[in-house]
Amino acid sequence: MADVFKDGLLRGQHALITGGGSGINRRIAERFAAQGAAVSIVGRSLERAEGAAEAIRAAGGQARGFSADVRDFDVLATSFGQAHANFGPVDICVAGAAGNFVAEAENISSNGFKTVVDIDLVGTWNTFRAALTLLRAGRANLLAISAVQSVMPMAAQAHVCAAKAGIDMLVRTLSIEWAARGVRCNAIAPGPVANTEGMRRLAPEGDTSWAHVLAGIPMARAADADEIADLALFLCSGAAPYIHGTVIAIDGGQTNLGSLPFGAALLESLRDR
Protein backbone atom coordinates (compact mmCIF):
# COMPACT_ATOMS: atom_id res chain seq x y z
CA MET A 1 0.00 0.00 0.00
CA ALA A 2 1.27 3.47 -0.86
CA ASP A 3 2.24 5.60 2.13
CA VAL A 4 1.74 9.02 0.52
CA PHE A 5 -1.69 9.54 2.14
CA LYS A 6 -2.48 10.56 5.66
CA ASP A 7 -4.01 7.69 7.66
CA GLY A 8 -7.76 7.72 8.19
CA LEU A 9 -8.65 9.89 5.20
CA LEU A 10 -12.09 8.26 4.91
CA ARG A 11 -12.78 7.57 8.57
CA GLY A 12 -16.49 7.66 9.33
CA GLN A 13 -17.53 7.50 5.66
CA HIS A 14 -19.55 4.85 3.83
CA ALA A 15 -18.33 3.74 0.41
CA LEU A 16 -20.59 1.70 -1.87
CA ILE A 17 -18.84 -0.09 -4.74
CA THR A 18 -20.40 -2.09 -7.56
CA GLY A 19 -18.18 -4.70 -9.14
CA GLY A 20 -16.10 -4.65 -5.98
CA GLY A 21 -15.74 -8.41 -5.66
CA SER A 22 -12.70 -8.65 -7.92
CA GLY A 23 -10.05 -6.79 -9.90
CA ILE A 24 -9.34 -3.11 -9.53
CA ASN A 25 -12.67 -2.45 -7.82
CA ARG A 26 -11.82 -4.91 -5.09
CA ARG A 27 -8.50 -3.13 -4.62
CA ILE A 28 -10.36 0.19 -4.38
CA ALA A 29 -12.64 -1.34 -1.75
CA GLU A 30 -9.64 -2.59 0.23
CA ARG A 31 -7.89 0.77 0.02
CA PHE A 32 -10.99 2.69 1.11
CA ALA A 33 -11.51 0.33 4.04
CA ALA A 34 -7.87 0.65 5.08
CA GLN A 35 -8.42 4.42 5.17
CA GLY A 36 -11.34 4.04 7.58
CA ALA A 37 -14.41 3.78 5.36
CA ALA A 38 -17.15 1.23 5.91
CA VAL A 39 -17.46 -0.50 2.55
CA SER A 40 -20.50 -2.06 0.90
CA ILE A 41 -19.45 -4.36 -1.95
CA VAL A 42 -22.12 -5.15 -4.52
CA GLY A 43 -21.75 -7.82 -7.19
CA ARG A 44 -23.71 -10.39 -9.14
CA SER A 45 -22.09 -13.14 -7.07
CA LEU A 46 -22.89 -12.80 -3.40
CA GLU A 47 -20.17 -15.35 -2.65
CA ARG A 48 -17.53 -13.24 -4.37
CA ALA A 49 -18.77 -9.96 -2.90
CA GLU A 50 -18.94 -11.35 0.61
CA GLY A 51 -15.57 -13.04 0.13
CA ALA A 52 -14.02 -9.65 -0.62
CA ALA A 53 -15.82 -8.18 2.39
CA GLU A 54 -14.59 -10.99 4.64
CA ALA A 55 -11.00 -10.32 3.60
CA ILE A 56 -11.44 -6.66 4.54
CA ARG A 57 -12.90 -7.59 7.91
CA ALA A 58 -10.02 -10.00 8.52
CA ALA A 59 -7.65 -7.08 7.95
CA GLY A 60 -9.49 -5.04 10.57
CA GLY A 61 -11.84 -3.07 8.33
CA GLN A 62 -15.60 -2.76 8.05
CA ALA A 63 -17.27 -4.32 5.02
CA ARG A 64 -20.27 -6.32 3.88
CA GLY A 65 -21.16 -7.98 0.60
CA PHE A 66 -24.46 -7.63 -1.24
CA SER A 67 -25.83 -9.30 -4.36
CA ALA A 68 -27.30 -7.44 -7.34
CA ASP A 69 -26.96 -7.22 -11.11
CA VAL A 70 -26.36 -3.59 -12.10
CA ARG A 71 -28.61 -4.12 -15.13
CA ASP A 72 -31.63 -4.62 -12.85
CA PHE A 73 -32.44 -1.26 -11.26
CA ASP A 74 -35.03 -2.56 -8.79
CA VAL A 75 -32.80 -5.33 -7.43
CA LEU A 76 -29.86 -2.92 -7.28
CA ALA A 77 -31.92 -0.34 -5.39
CA THR A 78 -32.97 -3.01 -2.89
CA SER A 79 -29.34 -3.98 -2.23
CA PHE A 80 -28.38 -0.33 -1.87
CA GLY A 81 -31.19 0.10 0.65
CA GLN A 82 -29.79 -2.80 2.65
CA ALA A 83 -26.32 -1.23 2.54
CA HIS A 84 -27.77 2.08 3.70
CA ALA A 85 -29.57 0.37 6.58
CA ASN A 86 -26.32 -1.33 7.55
CA PHE A 87 -23.77 1.51 7.28
CA GLY A 88 -25.84 4.69 6.91
CA PRO A 89 -25.76 7.46 4.28
CA VAL A 90 -23.47 6.92 1.30
CA ASP A 91 -20.48 9.28 1.08
CA ILE A 92 -18.79 7.60 -1.90
CA CYS A 93 -20.36 5.57 -4.70
CA VAL A 94 -18.10 3.81 -7.19
CA ALA A 95 -19.67 2.39 -10.35
CA GLY A 96 -17.20 -0.29 -11.32
CA ALA A 97 -19.11 -3.23 -12.82
CA ALA A 98 -18.00 -3.93 -16.38
CA GLY A 99 -18.15 -6.50 -19.16
CA ASN A 100 -15.90 -7.12 -22.15
CA PHE A 101 -14.97 -9.64 -24.81
CA VAL A 102 -12.75 -9.48 -27.87
CA ALA A 103 -14.54 -9.49 -31.23
CA GLU A 104 -14.42 -7.63 -34.51
CA ALA A 105 -17.51 -5.51 -35.08
CA GLU A 106 -18.91 -7.72 -37.86
CA ASN A 107 -18.91 -10.66 -35.46
CA ILE A 108 -20.60 -8.92 -32.53
CA SER A 109 -24.26 -9.85 -32.25
CA SER A 110 -26.89 -7.29 -31.29
CA ASN A 111 -27.29 -9.11 -27.99
CA GLY A 112 -23.55 -9.13 -27.35
CA PHE A 113 -23.28 -5.41 -28.03
CA LYS A 114 -26.29 -4.71 -25.84
CA THR A 115 -24.93 -6.81 -22.98
CA VAL A 116 -21.74 -4.75 -22.70
CA VAL A 117 -23.63 -1.45 -23.00
CA ASP A 118 -26.14 -2.61 -20.39
CA ILE A 119 -23.48 -3.64 -17.87
CA ASP A 120 -21.11 -0.72 -18.40
CA LEU A 121 -23.24 2.29 -19.35
CA VAL A 122 -26.72 1.43 -18.13
CA GLY A 123 -25.16 -0.19 -15.05
CA THR A 124 -23.31 3.03 -14.24
CA TRP A 125 -26.52 5.03 -14.62
CA ASN A 126 -28.45 2.56 -12.48
CA THR A 127 -25.73 2.67 -9.82
CA PHE A 128 -25.69 6.45 -9.56
CA ARG A 129 -29.45 6.86 -9.83
CA ALA A 130 -30.16 4.19 -7.20
CA ALA A 131 -27.63 5.79 -4.86
CA LEU A 132 -28.88 9.35 -5.32
CA THR A 133 -31.48 9.39 -2.55
CA LEU A 134 -29.10 7.57 -0.18
CA LEU A 135 -26.20 10.02 -0.51
CA ARG A 136 -25.09 12.05 2.48
CA ALA A 137 -26.79 15.42 2.18
CA GLY A 138 -24.57 18.16 0.82
CA ARG A 139 -21.46 16.03 0.47
CA ALA A 140 -20.91 12.96 -1.66
CA ASN A 141 -18.62 11.61 -4.37
CA LEU A 142 -19.66 9.60 -7.42
CA LEU A 143 -16.83 7.86 -9.26
CA ALA A 144 -17.23 5.86 -12.47
CA ILE A 145 -14.64 3.42 -13.77
CA SER A 146 -14.33 4.14 -17.47
CA ALA A 147 -11.42 3.05 -19.73
CA VAL A 148 -9.08 4.47 -22.35
CA GLN A 149 -11.42 3.00 -24.98
CA SER A 150 -13.75 5.92 -24.23
CA VAL A 151 -11.49 8.30 -26.17
CA MET A 152 -9.28 5.90 -28.13
CA PRO A 153 -11.01 3.88 -30.87
CA MET A 154 -9.71 0.34 -30.79
CA ALA A 155 -10.05 -2.67 -33.07
CA ALA A 156 -12.16 -5.51 -31.67
CA GLN A 157 -13.61 -3.19 -29.02
CA ALA A 158 -16.47 -1.34 -30.75
CA HIS A 159 -18.94 -2.33 -28.02
CA VAL A 160 -16.64 -1.25 -25.19
CA CYS A 161 -15.62 2.00 -26.89
CA ALA A 162 -19.27 2.96 -27.27
CA ALA A 163 -20.17 2.04 -23.69
CA LYS A 164 -17.21 3.78 -22.09
CA ALA A 165 -17.68 6.93 -24.16
CA GLY A 166 -21.23 7.02 -22.85
CA ILE A 167 -19.98 6.75 -19.28
CA ASP A 168 -17.69 9.74 -19.76
CA MET A 169 -20.49 11.93 -21.09
CA LEU A 170 -22.87 10.72 -18.37
CA VAL A 171 -20.39 11.78 -15.68
CA ARG A 172 -19.95 15.18 -17.28
CA THR A 173 -23.69 15.71 -17.55
CA LEU A 174 -24.41 14.65 -13.97
CA SER A 175 -21.66 16.99 -12.80
CA ILE A 176 -23.78 19.85 -14.14
CA GLU A 177 -27.14 18.66 -12.85
CA TRP A 178 -26.13 17.36 -9.43
CA ALA A 179 -23.50 19.88 -8.33
CA ALA A 180 -26.14 21.92 -6.48
CA ARG A 181 -26.82 18.81 -4.37
CA GLY A 182 -23.21 18.86 -3.17
CA VAL A 183 -22.40 15.82 -5.31
CA ARG A 184 -19.07 15.59 -7.12
CA CYS A 185 -18.98 13.35 -10.20
CA ASN A 186 -15.76 12.10 -11.79
CA ALA A 187 -14.39 9.12 -13.68
CA ILE A 188 -11.15 7.19 -13.94
CA ALA A 189 -10.07 5.78 -17.31
CA PRO A 190 -7.44 3.09 -16.78
CA GLY A 191 -5.28 1.67 -19.48
CA PRO A 192 -3.99 -1.91 -19.16
CA VAL A 193 -3.82 -3.09 -15.54
CA ALA A 194 -1.63 -6.08 -14.70
CA ASN A 195 -2.96 -9.24 -13.06
CA THR A 196 -6.64 -8.58 -13.69
CA GLU A 197 -9.33 -10.72 -15.29
CA GLY A 198 -9.95 -8.00 -17.85
CA MET A 199 -6.38 -8.08 -19.12
CA ARG A 200 -6.30 -11.85 -19.11
CA ARG A 201 -9.14 -11.65 -21.62
CA LEU A 202 -7.54 -8.84 -23.63
CA ALA A 203 -4.08 -10.43 -23.70
CA PRO A 204 -4.94 -14.10 -24.27
CA GLU A 205 -1.64 -14.90 -25.99
CA GLY A 206 0.36 -14.11 -22.87
CA ASP A 207 3.79 -12.60 -23.51
CA THR A 208 3.09 -12.18 -27.23
CA SER A 209 -0.03 -10.13 -26.55
CA TRP A 210 1.72 -8.12 -23.84
CA ALA A 211 4.59 -7.22 -26.19
CA HIS A 212 2.05 -5.59 -28.52
CA VAL A 213 0.26 -3.84 -25.68
CA LEU A 214 3.40 -2.44 -24.04
CA ALA A 215 4.69 -1.19 -27.41
CA GLY A 216 1.86 1.33 -27.30
CA ILE A 217 2.59 2.64 -23.80
CA PRO A 218 5.36 5.25 -23.39
CA MET A 219 6.12 4.02 -19.87
CA ALA A 220 6.42 0.46 -21.29
CA ARG A 221 4.51 -1.19 -18.46
CA ALA A 222 0.98 -1.83 -17.29
CA ALA A 223 -0.54 -0.16 -14.26
CA ASP A 224 -0.70 -1.88 -10.90
CA ALA A 225 -4.12 -2.11 -9.27
CA ASP A 226 -2.74 -0.11 -6.34
CA GLU A 227 -2.10 2.83 -8.66
CA ILE A 228 -5.74 2.84 -9.74
CA ALA A 229 -6.86 2.61 -6.12
CA ASP A 230 -4.58 5.51 -5.17
CA LEU A 231 -6.18 7.73 -7.81
CA ALA A 232 -9.67 6.71 -6.64
CA LEU A 233 -8.71 7.53 -3.06
CA PHE A 234 -7.34 10.93 -4.05
CA LEU A 235 -10.45 11.86 -6.02
CA CYS A 236 -12.77 10.83 -3.18
CA SER A 237 -10.73 12.50 -0.45
CA GLY A 238 -10.64 16.05 0.82
CA ALA A 239 -7.63 16.67 -1.42
CA ALA A 240 -9.76 17.01 -4.55
CA PRO A 241 -12.75 19.21 -3.63
CA TYR A 242 -12.70 21.21 -6.88
CA ILE A 243 -12.16 18.32 -9.30
CA HIS A 244 -15.59 17.81 -10.78
CA GLY A 245 -16.99 16.51 -14.06
CA THR A 246 -13.58 15.21 -15.08
CA VAL A 247 -12.38 11.94 -16.64
CA ILE A 248 -8.79 11.23 -15.67
CA ALA A 249 -6.76 8.80 -17.77
CA ILE A 250 -4.30 6.64 -15.86
CA ASP A 251 -2.57 4.84 -18.71
CA GLY A 252 1.17 5.51 -18.71
CA GLY A 253 0.66 7.82 -21.70
CA GLN A 254 -1.08 5.22 -23.88
CA THR A 255 -3.71 7.61 -25.24
CA ASN A 256 -0.92 9.84 -26.59
CA LEU A 257 0.31 7.08 -28.89
CA GLY A 258 -3.02 5.63 -29.94
CA SER A 259 -4.64 2.21 -30.03
CA LEU A 260 -2.92 0.53 -32.99
CA PRO A 261 -0.51 -1.68 -30.98
CA PHE A 262 -3.24 -2.78 -28.55
CA GLY A 263 -5.72 -3.35 -31.37
CA ALA A 264 -3.12 -5.39 -33.25
CA ALA A 265 -2.75 -7.64 -30.22
CA LEU A 266 -6.51 -8.16 -30.05
CA LEU A 267 -6.83 -8.93 -33.76
CA GLU A 268 -3.89 -11.32 -33.60
CA SER A 269 -5.48 -13.19 -30.72
CA LEU A 270 -8.64 -13.63 -32.81
CA ARG A 271 -6.71 -15.00 -35.79
CA ASP A 272 -4.93 -17.51 -33.57
CA ARG A 273 -8.13 -19.04 -32.26
User: Can you give the CATH number for the domain in which 100 is found?
Assistant: 3.40.50.720
Query: Is the residue at 211 inside a domain?
Result: no
Does the annotation count 164 as an active-site position? yes
Query: Is the residue at 144 inside a domain?
Result: yes
Question: Does residue 120 register a pLDDT over 90?
Answer: yes
Question: Does residue 68 register a pLDDT over 70?
Answer: yes
Please report which confidence band the pLDDT of residue 202 belongs to, taking 50, 70 and 90 as the band edges: low
Please report which confidence band the pLDDT of residue 209 belongs to, taking 50, 70 and 90 as the band edges: confident
**Boundaries of domain holding 145:** 14-203+221-253
What's the chain's average pLDDT? Answer: 94
Query: Is the residue at 103 inside a domain?
Result: yes
Task: Give the mean model confidence (pLDDT) for residues 179-189.
Answer: 98
Does the annotation count 114 as an active-site position? no
Q: Cα dihedral sign for 164, 126, 128, 70?
A: negative
For Cα atoms 119, 137, 77, give the angle at the middle one, nearest 5 degrees: 30
pLDDT number for residue 250: 98
Strand partners, 24: none
Task: Give the mean model confidence (pLDDT) for residues 1-15.
Answer: 87
State the burial class of residue 33 (Cβ atoms within 10 Å of its Cβ: 0-12, 13-18, 19+). Answer: buried
E strands in the chain: 14-18, 38-43, 62-67, 92-95, 140-145, 183-190, 246-250
Question: Does residue 2 register a pLDDT over 60?
Answer: no
Please report which confidence band the pLDDT of residue 55 belongs to, taking 50, 70 and 90 as the band edges: very high
Question: What pLDDT, in 10s, does the model give residues 72-105?
Answer: 999 999 999 999 999 999 999 999 999 999 999 9
Catalytic-labelled residue, pool 164, 175, 209, 259: 164
Query: Is the residue at 4 inside a domain?
Result: no
Domains held by the chain: number? 1
DSSP 8-state symbol, 11: T
Q: Which helix (H) or strand (E) holds 167?
A: helix 158-177
Which position has the higher pLDDT, 262 or 223?
Answer: 223
Question: Does residue 149 register a pLDDT over 60?
Answer: yes
Three-state DSSP class for 199? helix
Dihedral (Cα; 257, 261, 262, 263), 10-degree rounding: 110
What percent of the chain stands above pLDDT 90? 83
Question: Does residue 266 register a pLDDT over 90?
Answer: no
pLDDT number for residue 262: 80
Query: Is the residue at 273 inside a domain?
Result: no
pLDDT number for residue 198: 67
Question: Does residue 203 register a pLDDT over 70?
Answer: no
pLDDT number for residue 272: 62
pLDDT number for residue 273: 61
Are the beta carbons of 226 and 28 closer than 8 angstroms? no
Question: Does residue 261 register a pLDDT over 90?
Answer: no
Catalytic-labelled residue, pool 22, 79, 146, 175: 146
